[in-house]
Amino acid sequence: MEKLKIVPCHIGIIMDGNGRWAEKRNLPRIFGHKEGIEAVRRTVKAANKYNIKYLTLYSFSTENWKRPKEEIEFLFSLMEKKLREEGENLHKNNVRVRFIGRIQELPPNLIEIIDYVEILTKRNTGLNLIFAINYGGRTEIIDGIKEIIKSGHSEKEINEELLSKFLYLPDVPDPDLIIRTSGEKRISNFLLWQSAYSEFYFTKVLWPDFDEKEFLKALLDYQRRKRKFGAI
């Protein structure tokens, strides 16, 4: 079997297929979201095992507000519950938990646990686990531009480097690899600015079925690629 020699520093994952996973089993969609949490747990464990420094999980997009109200409320309740349950464990494992998106627009109880877990794990030096909640790539760019204007920068000062400094987590390197599950082949407004030169890996596996074996397949595929960044 091929040995893993090169690993990406930052991996972003578009976790797609929870609803289809449930529908294939004639179950309500919420069961897919519950199983999706188990896939998150497996993936975080695998990222730690393979020494990934940053892992960004697309958890709820700015477009997901179009879903039924009951499903949205369940998702937020599930996020809150799991963050309360897993926060201490992640802390013990030296994981730093961070969040990107318009967090201030989320339910107060969810904001409370988000703030708590961020503060609790802030000094940890292991895996940076980043949840994109109420996140959109276009929204992030717009928010960054607004902050530049507020800061009083002149038009001549505006360039790629400056805008990057005003994005949600400017200290986090751009993703080397973006994985999307469920067979769909689109970026869906995820890390638009940061993914300009990312490698993409698409798998037909639905997110609740994603495990260490599938994660390793993506890593092995990544190490076979030659990244050029516009060069020859």
- With a cut of 80, say whether residue 98 has pLDDT above it: yes
**Whole-prediction pTM value?**
0.96
Choose, from 48, 64, 93, 189, the residue flagged as catalytic: 64
- Set 16, 18, 134, 176: catalytic member: 16
Query: What's residue 36's pLDDT?
Result: 97
pLDDT digits (tens, 9 = 90+) for 117-135: 999 999 999 999 999 999 9
Does residue 64 carry a catalytic annotation?
A: yes
- Where do the structural domains in the chain lie, given as residue ranges? 10-137+174-223
The model's confidence at residue 45, banded by pLDDT at 50, 70 and 90, is very high
Active site residue 176: no
- Do 60 and 134 form a contact (C-beta atoms < 8 A)? yes
CA atoms within 13 A on the CB side of 104: 0
Q: Which of 156, 95, 83 is nearest to 121 (CA)?
A: 95
CB 175 within 8 A of CB 191: yes
Could you say which architecture CATH assigns to the domain 10-137+174-223?
Answer: 3-Layer(aba) Sandwich (3.40)
Q: Residue 232: its pLDDT value, please?
A: 61
Biggest CA–CA distance in the chain, Å, is 57
- In 3D space, the residue among 39, 20, 56 whose CA is nearest the CA of residue 198 turns out to be 56
Asked if residues 86 and 116 have their Cβ atoms less than 8 Å apart, the reply is no
Residues 146-190: tens digit of each pLDDT: 999 999 999 999 999 999 999 999 999 999 999 999 999 999 999
Helix (H) or strand (E) holding 180: strand 177-180
Report DSSP state, residue 152: T
Residue 21 CB neighbours (<10 A):
23
